[in-house]
Amino acid sequence: MKRSWIECYQIDMVDMMSTTVTISKLNEHVGETVTLAGWLYNSRIGSKVAFLIVRDGTGLCQGVVTKEEVEPEVFADAVHLTQESSVRVTGLVHADERAVGGYELHVTGLEPVHSAVEYPITLKAHGHDFLFKHRHLWLRSRRPTAIMKIRHTVIDAVRRFFNDNGFVLVDTPIFAPSAGEGAQTLFSVDYFGEPMYLAQTGQLYLESAAMAYGKVYCFGPTFRAEKSKTRRHLTEFWMVEPEIAYADLDDVMAVAEDFVYTIAQRVLAEHRADLEFLGQDVAVLERIRKPFYRLTYSQAVDILHGPQARELLEKDLAEKNARIEELKQSIPAKEQERDRPGVKKYRQEQLAAEVITEREELADLQEQVKNIPTHMELAAGFEWGKDLGGSDETIISRLHDRPVFVTHYPRGCKAFYMKQDPHDSRLVKNFDLLAPDGYGEIIGGSQREDDLDVLLERMAEEGLATEPYEWYLDLRRYGSVPHGGFGLGIERTVAWLCGLRHIRETIAYPRLMGKVYP
């Protein structure tokens, strides 16, 4: 039978090319000749052999090009490939425990796709400002790759948890006509001449969906005009919020506990190598067990006033000051060695990189040391009735090695929709879940006020006009039931699981006050 031209073409292509596989699947192709489609991450060129480290988004693989065994053009191409040039590499797959990723490619062919001009991010250290300015390229590096993959798994675990447990996804609007949380953090936009806001939460809409479908969740970007430049705040972040009808505070907390535990287990099961690469102590995640700790707000305030908090901060101060002294000696010593005549280039670069890292650490520590006395004062002088501040949360969460629920806050410092505690009308039936080891709040949640009169009273207390909320109040007029839910911030959760000091690394393009490029 005569073959069509397309069949002939396909057969020719198969003869010409080996199968293209991803680096993550090399284990299935040991002993076969395959092609990798990727970018040159790094190379080491000798006179007889060139080592090309290629990345393809799924991993890194070393290709070995031996001059004697390949066509002269192949070796010449290998020598001339620049960092981050795109390239197809064909070769025989060998298992090699010592190789990065565990496999090596004995290269037989190279097909340069695009030759990169001088790449700004070298394998040496760069300062954070420089890296964030080059975020569009920096995403290719190993550290952001590890973090983005963990973020991906966290989000997958989030969706699975709710989908597998009978929750219905209901997407809530991003254009919102009224505040869902505090009015101080609203971003306003011009909506055809009408004032409108970017959603701070999907919760109020989600409550209506819970009255329709029982168990629901929403997951999307949320916006807060946070004027604070802290390591925990973004102006745009992703929040997942479940809402459950016929549920009280304990029911909601049980879901939150199960949920966070499940996410942490998933990350631990799939990302040990990434966590270790990031320098995260895996034991931190292995310690996460149910039940989490439970404190009332009043107990948390007692801790802030007590000797434990003071001792913790005093110890911190001493340790940080000691490290500052160390750095103050080591930085100039390294600079001197770097500038000494006759120092080898690789050593110069290594020292320059260490100086950058140590300078950043020093600046960070000096900032922290400056703040510790304030944090001590804030804790010791904490007045019952105020919301816990970032430093207060840090203290509570540093004193615990598993997540800790803080419940029953004074109603004056929390949102209007929270259910009044029937045993003590000064309090609401809410919780914040603090991640351990100083990470602070990752979840805020509560049972909702389901009594129309109490809710109206509370809104009046807050000076909230009822008109924009009439639809929300309807939920208390037509079959009101006890219900509640919570919101988990994806970025804070990823920062905690990865052990990152700053939230900005947990999202591809962080939005902070004064930072929107690229």
Q: Show the tokens assigned to 125.
A: 């250290």
Question: Can you tell me the distance from the alpha carbon of 93 to that of 103, in angstroms, rounded to the nearest whole number?
Answer: 7
Nearer to ligand 4AD, 154 or 239 (CB): 239
Q: Show the tokens assigned to 46.
A: 């000798």
- Strands of 224-281, DSSP E: 236-245
| Nearest-approach distance from CB 509 to ligand 4AD, in angstroms | 14
The CB-side HSE value for 48 (13 A sphere, CA atoms) comes to: 1
Nearer to Mg ion, 150 or 239 (CB): 239
| Nearest-approach distance from CB 217 to ligand 4AD, in angstroms | 9
> Hey, which residues does 504 pair with through a beta bridge?
none
Residue 233 near ligand 4AD by CB under 6 A:
yes
Question: Can you tell me the distance from the alpha carbon of 514 to that of 292, in angstroms, rounded to the nearest whole number?
Answer: 37
Nearer to ligand 4AD, 197 or 486 (CB): 486
One of 41, 138, 237, 405 touching ligand 4AD (CB under 6 A): 237
- Residue 241's binding partner among ligand 4AD, Mg ion, none (Cβ under 5 to 8 angstroms by kind) is ligand 4AD
> Exposed, middle or buried: residue 207 (CB in 10 Å: 0-12, 13-18, 19+)?
buried
Question: Can you tell me the distance from the alpha carbon of 99 to that of 18, in angstroms, rounded to the nearest whole number?
Answer: 22
With helix as H, strand as E and coil as C, how does 470-504 read? HHHHHCCCCCCCCEEEEEEEHHHHHHHHHCCCCHH
Residue 393 near ligand 4AD by CB under 6 A:
no
> Exposed, middle or buried: residue 184 (CB in 10 Å: 0-12, 13-18, 19+)?
exposed
Nearer to ligand 4AD, 38 or 489 (CB): 489
User: CA angle, 231 as apex, 230 and 235 as ends, to 5°?
Assistant: 70
Which range touches ligand 4AD (CB under 6 A), out of 3-11, 321-329, 419-427, 489-497?
489-497
- Residue 406's binding partner among Mg ion, ligand 4AD, none (Cβ under 5 to 8 angstroms by kind) is none
Strands 49-55 and 60-66: antiparallel
Contacting Mg ion within 416-445 (CB under 5 A): 444
| Nearest-approach distance from CB 289 to ligand 4AD, in angstroms | 21
Nearest CA among 230, 180, 240, 229 for reference residue 205: 180
Residue 445 near ligand 4AD by CB under 6 A:
yes
Number of chain residues interacting with ligand 4AD (CB under 6 A): 23
One of 59, 91, 438, 444 touching ligand 4AD (CB under 6 A): 444
Secondary structure letter of residue 382 according to DSSP: P
DSSP states along 410-469 = BGGGS-TTBPBPTT-TTBBSEEEEEETTTTEEEEEEEEBP--HHHHHHHHHHTT--SGGG
Residues 196-225: x/- map of binding to ligand 4AD (CB under 6 A)? -----x-x--------------------x-
One of 487, 497, 498, 504 touching ligand 4AD (CB under 6 A): 487
Nearer to Mg ion, 444 or 485 (CB): 444
Question: Can you tell me the distance from the alpha carbon of 80 to that of 102, in angstroms, rounded to the nearest whole number?
Answer: 26
Nearer to ligand 4AD, 181 or 437 (CB): 181
Residue 485 near Mg ion by CB under 5 A:
no
Amino acid at 364: D
Nearer to ligand 4AD, 101 or 510 (CB): 510
Decide if 305 contacts 382 (C-beta within 8 A): yes
Nearest CA among 382, 489, 379, 508 for reference residue 433: 489
| Nearest-approach distance from CB 313 to Mg ion, in angstroms | 23
Residue 162 near ligand 4AD by CB under 6 A:
no
- Residue 443's binding partner among Mg ion, ligand 4AD, none (Cβ under 5 to 8 angstroms by kind) is ligand 4AD
One of 34, 234, 388, 428 touching ligand 4AD (CB under 6 A): 234
Residues 442-481: x/- map of binding to Mg ion (CB under 5 A)? --x-------------------------------------
| Nearest-approach distance from CB 218 to ligand 4AD, in angstroms | 9
Q: Show the tokens assigned to 305.
A: 């006033």
> Hey, which residues does 434 pair with through a beta bridge?
404, 441
Nearer to ligand 4AD, 38 or 484 (CB): 484
Binding site for ligand 4AD (CB under 6 A): 180-181, 201, 203, 224, 226, 233-234, 237, 239, 241, 441-445, 485-489, 491-492
